[in-house]
Structure 1
Amino acid sequence: MTHILKVNNLTKTYRSGSKELTVLNDVSFSIPEGSSFSIVGPSGSGKTTLLGLCAGLDTTDSGSVTLCGTELSSLTEDERAILRNQKVGFVFQDFQLLPTLTALENVVVPLELQGVKNADTTGRELLEKVGLGSRMDHYPNQLSGGEQQRVALARAFSNKPQILFADEPTGNLDEATGEKVTNLLFELNKQTGTTLVIVTHDMELAGMTDHMIRLKGGKLIENETTV
């Protein structure tokens, strides 16, 4: 079995003046390629910090993260950015769409920056797939929260990532809209074979993934297969 993400003895401490706060304490787990995985725990348990370290958005104090076969601490910040651009997708709670760009432009611009040919065609196909074929020329402020998150999903899958990190992807949505976005996320994941890593408070959503880990006070207290 190939593991796309390996986390070994990961510790992260933040300093505030003379005080030290250990946000993650000796966390270890691995994620098989093509699987779905959830990270759960109360607020302040270290979930988002862990996601940022796994995705190479932040650096570890001790321990290691190996993402897509590369040990992240061996890379410079620029090299980590290149790895993310080529192999990683992101979906955030607050959508993070560019307000001055249309739905289509939000999906296409990252592709154009990577020099992808036929970026416009790819963007249109993805927006059709997420049910926004008639909303491509709308700006984020003209879209509902659920529609904005669907644009964010289309953008996240646009570079055909090997692994997608979703931080509370339904956190800002009502229950019915959240359910639609969740179903779409798993559907796209299945179609593309992307590994899916979700940080969530929603235990129902976590229960839909193949595997779940639970954090409390920065420590891994549970590691279980859910299906």
Structure 2
Amino acid sequence: MSKILKVQNLSKTYRSGDQHLHVLNNVSFEVASGETFAIVGPSGSGKTTLLGLCAGLDKVDDGEIWLCDQNLVELDEDGRALLRNQHVGFVFQDFQLLPTLTALENVIVPLELRGTKKAAEQGRELLAKVGLENRSGHYPSQLSGGEQQRVALARAFANRPTILFADEPTGNLDDETGAKIEKLLFELNKEQGTALVIVTHDMELAQKADKNIRLRSGRIEQTIG
């Protein structure tokens, strides 16, 4: 099974005045094609920083990250953006839908950016998969939190990404709604064969993944799977 993501001896330090904050220290792991992988740990453990580095949203200080066979260390900002556009999907805790666009328009934005033909048709199919075929013309403000996250899921899978990064995808939802989103996320992931990396503080969610690592103070404290 090919490795979609390889992280080797990764470290990240931020400077604050004269102080240096070591956020990540010598982190290494791999994620295979189609595999589900969770990153867990308390607040301040470096989870979100690690996710951003793996997705090429920030630059590496020390170590290497290989994403879809490309070394992120060797890519400039434009190169990393191109790689994300071709291979990566995102789901965020706060949904990040465009408020002036309808549910359907939010879903097809990535399709239109790539010049996909029949983008609207594909968008409607995706909304149907997440159970929102009758809400396509509604704006985010007219949707519940759970419905907004379902739109975000449909958008994330629109380009059939090789890997999907989900940052606390149920963090802003109640338990019942969160459970439905989790189920939908894993179902879509399995259907499309996408590698899935989830950042969460929820151990119950993490245990549903094929593998998980637990961070503490920027280091891997435990690896399961």
Q: TM over 0.5: same fold?
A: yes
CA–CA distance in structure 2, aligned partners of residues 87 and 109 of structure 1: 15
1:124, distance to aligned residue in structure 2 (A): 0.3
Which amino acid letter does the alignment assign opposite residue 165 of structure 2? F
CA–CA distance in structure 1, aligned partners of residues 106 and 93 of structure 2: 16
Q: Tell me the alpha carbon deviations over residues 78-101 of structure 1, each in whole angstroms, 9 at most, x when there is no partner.
A: 111010011000000000000000
Secondary structure of 2:134 counterpart: coil
1:63, distance to aligned residue in structure 2 (A): 0.2
Matches of residues 1-150 of structure 1 in structure 2 within 5 Å? 1-150=1-150
Deviating runs (4+, > 4 A) in structure 1? none
CA–CA distance in structure 2, aligned partners of residues 201 and 217 of structure 1: 14
CA–CA distance in structure 2, aligned partners of residues 69 and 223 of structure 1: 24
Give yes or no for the alignment of 1:208 onto 2:208. yes
Secondary structure of 1:117 counterpart: coil
- Unaligned 5+ runs, structure 2: none
Which amino acid letter does the alignment assign opposite residue 103 of structure 1? A
Which amino acid letter does the alignment assign opposite residue 146 of structure 1? G
Q: Tell me the alpha carbon deviations over residues 10-58 of structure 1, each in whole angstroms, 9 at most, x when there is no partner.
A: 0000000100000000101111111000000000000000000000000
Secondary structure of 1:198 counterpart: strand
CA–CA distance in structure 2, aligned partners of residues 117 and 8 of structure 1: 39
Alignment identity in percent? 69
CA–CA distance in structure 2, aligned partners of residues 157 and 81 of structure 1: 17
CA–CA distance in structure 1, aligned partners of residues 112 and 44 of structure 2: 37
TM-score, normalising length: structure 1: 0.98
CA–CA distance in structure 2, aligned partners of residues 218 and 137 of structure 1: 43
1:213, distance to aligned residue in structure 2 (A): 0.3
CA–CA distance in structure 2, aligned partners of residues 223 and 128 of structure 1: 37
1:125, distance to aligned residue in structure 2 (A): 0.2
- Unaligned 5+ runs, structure 1: none
Of 73-82 and 158-167, deviating more is: 73-82
2:221 alignment partner in structure 1: 221
1:2, distance to aligned residue in structure 2 (A): 1.2
Secondary structure of 2:135 counterpart: coil
Which amino acid letter does the alignment assign opposite residue 55 of structure 2? A
CA–CA distance in structure 2, aligned partners of residues 120 and 74 of structure 1: 36
Which amino acid letter does the alignment assign opposite residue 119 of structure 1? A
Which amino acid letter does the alignment assign opposite residue 169 of structure 1? P
CA–CA distance in structure 1, aligned partners of residues 15 and 71 of structure 2: 25
**Cα RMSD, aligned residues only:** 0.5
The count of corresponding residues between Structure 1 and Structure 2 is: 225
Which amino acid letter does the alignment assign opposite residue 175 of structure 1? D
1:4, distance to aligned residue in structure 2 (A): 0.6
1:207, distance to aligned residue in structure 2 (A): 0.6
CA–CA distance in structure 2, aligned partners of residues 76 and 55 of structure 1: 13
CA–CA distance in structure 2, aligned partners of residues 109 and 51 of structure 1: 23
Q: Tell me the alpha carbon deviations over residues 133-172 of structure 1, each in whole angstroms, 9 at most, x when there is no partner.
A: 0000000000000000000000000000000000000000
